[in-house]
Chains A and B, each alone.
Chain A
Amino acid sequence: MLTALDKKLLEEVADLHDQPPGAYNIRKDGEGIERRSLEGIEIKTKKDQPGIDVVVAAGKEGSVHIPVILTETDLSDLVYNTIDIGEGADIKLVAGCGIHNPGSGNAQHDGVHKIIVRRGARLSYSEKHFGEGDGGGRRVLNPKTILIIEEDAYAELELVQIRGVDETERITEAEVKAGGRLVMFERLLTDGEQTANSDIAVKLMGEESTARIISRSVAQGNSSQSFTPRLMAYGPGRGHVECDSIIMDQAKVRSVPEIWAGNAEAELVHEAAIGKIAGEQLVKLMSLGLTEEEAEEAIISGFLK
Chain B
Amino acid sequence: MFTFENITLEFTVEEKKVPILHDIDLQLEAGKMYALTGPNGSGKSSVARVAMGIYQPTEGRLFYKDEDITSLSITERARRGIGYAFQQPARFKGMQVKDMLEYAFQYSDGVNCQVLRQIGLCPDDYLERTLDTSLSGGEMKRIEIATLLARNPKVRIFDEPEAGIDLWSFEQLIDVIGDSHREDTTTVVISHQEKILNMVDEIIMMEDGQIKLRGDRETVWPQIKESTLCSCRTACRLGDEIYADCPR
What is A's interface to B at a CB cutoff of 8 Å? 216, 244, 278, 280-281, 283-292, 298-299, 302-305
Contacts and interface: CB of A to CB of B under 8 A. Distances in A.
Highest count of chain B CB atoms <10 Å: which of A280, A302, A305: A302
B52 interface: yes
B74 A287 contact: yes
Interface stretch (B79-87, B111-119, B210-218, B230-238): B79-87
Main secondary structure of the interface of B (DSSP, over half): mixed
Contacts of A299: 92, 95
Nearest to A278: B90
B192 interface: no
A289 B93 contact: no
B196 to A, nearest CB: 22
Interface of B: 52, 54, 73-75, 78-79, 83-84, 86, 88-90, 92-96, 99-100, 103-104, 106-108, 147, 151
A149 B106 CA distance: 45
A244 B74 contact: no
B93 to A, nearest CB: 5
A305 B92 CA distance: 12
28 contacts: A216-B94, A280-B86, A280-B90, A283-B90, A284-B90, A286-B74, A286-B75, A287-B52, A287-B74, A287-B78, A287-B86, A288-B100, A288-B107, A288-B147, A289-B78, A289-B103, A289-B107, A289-B151, A290-B106, A290-B107, A292-B75, A302-B92, A302-B95, A302-B99, A303-B92, A303-B93, A303-B94, A305-B94
B145 to A, nearest CB: 13
Contacts of A302: 92-96, 99
Contact of A288 (B94, B95, B103): B103
A286 B72 CA distance: 12
Contacts, number: 69
A44 to B, nearest CB: 40
A70 to B, nearest CB: 30
Contacts of A298: 95, 99, 103
Given A287-B78, A287-B83, A291-B75, A281 B92 contact: yes
Contacts of A288: 78, 100, 103-104, 106-107, 147, 151
